[in-house]
Structure 1
């Protein structure tokens, strides 16, 4: 069946609009508590994560409850002290912190989408005089709709499914109505702020802010030739890597081309590094990971240069590791 192969990747449209993390603009202590690391964190046992999860969950839920009951608007509308789905969210954000489901994109956008879906379904069913009799159908529809929307937007966050369900079946939340949206966003923001503080004391959080994939289109020194990449600004130039036929046969590389985004004028014009093989050497600070077409899928690491199959997508940590290995080759 053809429908089994249908695929909609929203990141194909969103990633060209997402800027690369501005780590180079931030002091390292600030970037540290936003999840950036210069080196890969060391492995830990299970007791330390359990301890910090206990501290983080306790503090985050206390703060959310304390703030919610002190907001005059929330108090006037009899907003509950806390929405039950925050309990499940806390487990993800303080214990399963490496899970994609716990990252900020999922935790915040997923909750927002689910809240809107839940309140919308509740309002729709309230148009009927038999709302109380049909509420059980509305709750199921709200959760299912929220899950579908989160799946399409790559923001799946399991606790958000509970939020959508509660928005229809919980009398207190039904009475809150659209005010539930800012209530949830405030709680998500408070929990994320505490997670950034607690989880970065001895661990790392988040693993990424929007996507685990590298964002080469925003990096002025990224090297790539992957198909389907984001369009490049006009000022970004291209040059072809030329190598001896013997090198191509040895490496198993055929019809290889790489694109250097940005760089100095010498890089853009393809000057040789003087080693006699006609190849252009990466300059200082130049990112050296390229995507090439290979006779066989393989990763080629040379001095100052890494070539990977064009279908292989690397995370930022993997790119840094490969670059480090290439620079260590003498």
Structure 2
């Protein structure tokens, strides 16, 4: 048995087999296009000015919509915050660094739900024992730590969710919402994702994947029977190969920032 520090838990090894692949072929192409599907993937080199302008619009619209729609919920208008502060950081990921694995829908939604559940649970638990400040400080640190570990194990790392867990314990207005914070977080995440799907698919592609860049559903027969050494070597070459020629071709699973893509485009232009 491997030492403890070498153990690795891969949740996708168990989950990917039971999650169906997205039914893009059965969905009208204009709709599937807005959901990140492309019949003919292509690389578009966008300057940072256009990306910055689009991010400005996306962040503004999404945060404004979250505040407006949340305020229509009676218990939010009375006690809770219109928007949890961590969504300011989430907006930066979703509308500028949207090619990052941290910004994909699985990471955005699942991480925020985990954070809200852990944060509210610890807040309620500590309130049963003490209302002292030290208990709140302890709970906030513990909520952020547990959320980080769970995100790592579930492959849903999304840095703003760490702030959500912390805020759920130490912010008085958020604490007053209690368990209702969970649907509020889910609503806010859904609104931000919807706006990102509309705006980010103008000139770009979002998301790069919904659950994982790997194939979903049952494992292929070749994988079940075991690939040959040659097949493995060819697969590795195809998996990690970036082609720079008349245009830049980057495999879907390789995440690049807009600045990195721009650099590759400049290199391509010199060849």
C-alpha separation in 2, matches of 1:298 and 1:61: 46
Residue in 2 that maps onto 1:24: 25
Give me the TM-score of the superposition, normalised by structure 1.
0.68
- 1:120 shift after superposition: 0.7
Classify 1:184/1:84 alpha carbon distance in 2 versus 1 (closer, same or farther; 3 Å): same
Once the two structures are superposed, residues 29-50 of structure 1 have per-residue CA deviations (whole angstroms, 9 ceiling, x without a partner) of: 1111000112223222211111
Give me the TM-score of the superposition, normalised by structure 2.
0.83
Residue in 1 that maps onto 2:80: 79
C-alpha separation in 1, matches of 2:130 and 2:212: 44
- Specify the structure having the higher radius of gyration (Cα): 1
Give matches, 1:127-276, under 5 Å.
Answer: 127-215=128-216, 217=218, 225-226=222-223, 229=224
Residue 229 of structure 2 corresponds to residue 293 of structure 1: yes
Residue in 2 that maps onto 1:34: 35
Residue in 2 that maps onto 1:55: 57
Once the two structures are superposed, residues 150-203 of structure 1 have per-residue CA deviations (whole angstroms, 9 ceiling, x without a partner) of: 111111110000000000110111111111001100000000000000100111
C-alpha separation in 2, matches of 1:131 and 1:211: 43
Classify 1:109/1:297 alpha carbon distance in 2 versus 1 (closer, same or farther; 3 Å): closer
- 1:309 shift after superposition: 6.0
C-alpha separation in 1, matches of 2:60 and 2:148: 28
- 1:297 shift after superposition: 5.9
Partners of 1:106 and 1:155 within 8 A in 2: yes
Aligned residue for 1:217, secondary structure, equals coil
- 1:51 shift after superposition: 1.0
RMSD: 2.5
Give matches, 1:85-100, under 5 Å.
Answer: 85-100=86-101
Give matches, 1:309-320, under 5 Å.
Answer: 318=251
C-alpha separation in 2, matches of 1:225 and 1:5: 28
Question: 5+ unaligned residues in a row in structure 2: which ranges?
Answer: 242-249, 253-271
Aligned residue for 1:116, secondary structure, equals helix
Partners of 2:16 and 2:217 within 8 A in 1: no
Residues matched between the structures, number: 242
C-alpha separation in 2, matches of 1:170 and 1:87: 16
C-alpha separation in 2, matches of 1:309 and 1:83: 42
Moved more, 198-207 or 127-136: 127-136
Higher normalized contact order (CA 8 Å, seq sep 6+, divided by chain length): 2
C-alpha separation in 2, matches of 1:40 and 1:180: 40
Aligned residue for 1:55, secondary structure, equals helix
Deviating beyond 6 angstroms after TM superposition, the runs of 4 or more aligned structure 1 residues are: none
- 1:224 shift after superposition: 5.1
Question: 5+ unaligned residues in a row in structure 1: which ranges?
Answer: 230-256, 259-290, 300-307, 320-330
Partners of 2:20 and 2:217 within 8 A in 1: no
Partners of 2:113 and 2:185 within 8 A in 1: yes
